[in-house]
Amino acid sequence: MDILSNLALGFEVALSPMTLFLAVVGCFLGTIIGALPGLGPSNGVAILIPITFTMGLDATAALVLLTSVYYGAMYGGRISSILLNIPGDEPAMMTTLDGYPMARNGRAGDALVISGVASFVGALLATIALALVAPYLARIAYKFGPAEYFALYALAFATLGGMASNNQAKSALASFIGLGIALIGIDNNSGFTRFTGGNLHLADGIDFLVAIVGLFAVSEVFFFIESHGKGSAVGVALGKVTVPWREIWSTRWTMLRSSAVGFVAGVLPGAGASLGSFMTYMMEKSIAGKNGGFGTGVAKGVAAPEAGNNAAAGGALVPMLTLGVPGSGTTAVLLAVLMTLNITPGPTLFADRPEVVWGLIAALLIANFVLLAMNVPMVKVFVRILQVPPAILLPGVTMISFVGIYSLSGSYFDLLLMVGFGVMGYLFRKMDIPTVPVILGILLGYQMENNLRHAMTLSGGEWTYLLSSPISIGLWIAAALGFIAPMFLRRYLRKPQMVTD
């Protein structure tokens, strides 16, 4: 059994005291980040990246810390959904539909426990599925040449863009803007400087971390200035927390079904956790029928979206690790981490750096148990943290962003760029232009151009080479469908506003 020996290797890495410590810290920070409205998995991980690097953590340690934060944030998002009726992060939005009514009925504790267990089931099953599926997909990815990779990147943009906005032109625009930003700086193949306008600061290109922190974290402060921190509505009190065993047992099929659907939604590039929770909630609602009482505060209504979004979070790691193509906003951020650590995700990662992949998977399995412990018996601690007012939280987040970026390069120019990206993030989100494709463009632009140039050089300039293999034709067809299909499905599946992850 290959997988068992791989997992043994993974646990060897993950069970070192330092890695365990980082996993616990990551889970704790992640749950807080998820619970606080205004901070979600993508911007939470984003502001922690620069700090992680300046601490000098090695690749495995940094990945374990940041993915624990990612998983933790997926768990934590439900806390404010249930208690405040404000999703702590976007994927937790569907949890407000039944979680808040449950809390209003005086069952806040039950809602938190059921959703915590559902999160655990979803995340655990998805992590196991990740361990099973990822090596298989990595083996297929060995067959990919430059033409296939170019098509794969196009697929990622098409599906992510197709899902991310209600207007295809806007998603496409965001992708091209990201690609354009990636082109700034010295061209590594020819040595020519491109599009810097003579500015020496730009010769090295724009660091994607600067763009990520600006778009995801700094832009948030502008939203809170606009709303004056209102919307932190009156919360519901949390009484004694007990475990409603029978109710949890009654949702077992809901949890299993939702985990499976959520995982698949996560693996598809671009779908991500928000779609996972949306699909699972809708699915369970129609299975339960009119008498199911969805929307009035039923256990299945909190179990489905939480199992779904946590499973999707695990699923989204599959394409990120095996193909180097992120399936969601947060995995795009994690891809940035890998690239900064000089780790190229993709099939070779499984062969060359097994300790990174399997250490990560083992750490995630451990993190799930830590998170279950934190989110069920210790949930009251996090409820207290929710009371931090935005007037302290948001300036704090901004200052941490500044210090983080400043500590990376020590350059005021990067800070200015970050503020610029913050303003851009605010304007784009106001105009319903998704910011995740911009990030994806900045991250993948270099690879995409390289693969295209490589393919053209191999073929002697013959463009049909891009469509010369069944795999690449299949990918292009999938890309076209992924981009166009949402236009027709939109009538039935209108995405709620502000969902970007």
Task: Summarize as ranges the residues that interact with other proteins (CB under 8 A).
Answer: 51, 54-55, 166-170, 172-173, 175-177, 179-180, 183, 187, 189-190, 192, 194-195, 218, 221-222, 224-226, 228-229, 389-392, 394-396, 398-400, 402-403, 406-407, 410, 412, 415-416, 418-419, 422-423, 426, 430-433, 448-449, 452-453, 456-457, 459-461
Distance from C-alpha of 410 to C-alpha of 300, rounded to nearest angstrom: 50
- Closer residue to other proteins (CB): 174 or 302: 174
- Closer residue to other proteins (CB): 270 or 390: 390
Please report, as a single letter, which amino acid is at residue 419: V
Q: Which candidate, 451, 11, 22, 435, places its Cα nearest to that of 220?
A: 435
Say if residues 318 and 267 touch (Cβ distance below 8 Å): yes
* Smallest separation, CB 416 to other proteins (Å): 5
* Smallest separation, CB 190 to other proteins (Å): 5
**Beta bridge mates, 194:** 185
* Smallest separation, CB 145 to other proteins (Å): 15
Instruction: Give the pair of three-digit tokens for residue 431.
Output: 């105009």
Distance from C-alpha of 435 to C-alpha of 426, rounded to nearest angstrom: 10
* Smallest separation, CB 404 to other proteins (Å): 9
Distance from C-alpha of 14 to C-alpha of 141, rounded to nearest angstrom: 26
Say if residues 10 and 64 touch (Cβ distance below 8 Å): no
Instruction: For strands 193-194 and 185-186, give the pairing.
Output: antiparallel
Query: In sequence order, which ranges of 142-244 are alpha helices (DSSP H)?
Result: 146-164, 168-183, 208-213, 219-227
Say if residues 218 and 425 touch (Cβ distance below 8 Å): yes
- Closer residue to other proteins (CB): 137 or 183: 183
* Smallest separation, CB 82 to other proteins (Å): 25
- Closer residue to other proteins (CB): 70 or 224: 224
* Smallest separation, CB 232 to other proteins (Å): 10
Distance from C-alpha of 349 to C-alpha of 341, rounded to nearest angstrom: 13
- Closer residue to other proteins (CB): 190 or 291: 190
Q: Which residues have a Cβ under 8 Å from the Cβ of 434 and sit 6 or more positions away?
A: 161, 164, 165, 170, 171, 174, 428, 500
* Smallest separation, CB 25 to other proteins (Å): 12
- Closer residue to other proteins (CB): 51 or 137: 51
Q: Give the residue carrying structure tokens 């809708």.
A: 282
* Smallest separation, CB 431 to other proteins (Å): 5
* Smallest separation, CB 108 to other proteins (Å): 26
Q: Which residues have a Cβ under 8 Å from the Cβ of 15 and sit 6 or more positions away?
A: 362, 366
- Closer residue to other proteins (CB): 172 or 264: 172
**Beta bridge mates, 186:** 193
- Closer residue to other proteins (CB): 55 or 140: 55
- Closer residue to other proteins (CB): 261 or 448: 448
- Closer residue to other proteins (CB): 320 or 448: 448
* Smallest separation, CB 105 to other proteins (Å): 31
Distance from C-alpha of 99 to C-alpha of 366, rounded to nearest angstrom: 27
Query: In sequence order, which ranges of 289-353 are alpha helices (DSSP H)?
Result: 299-315, 317-323, 329-340, 347-352
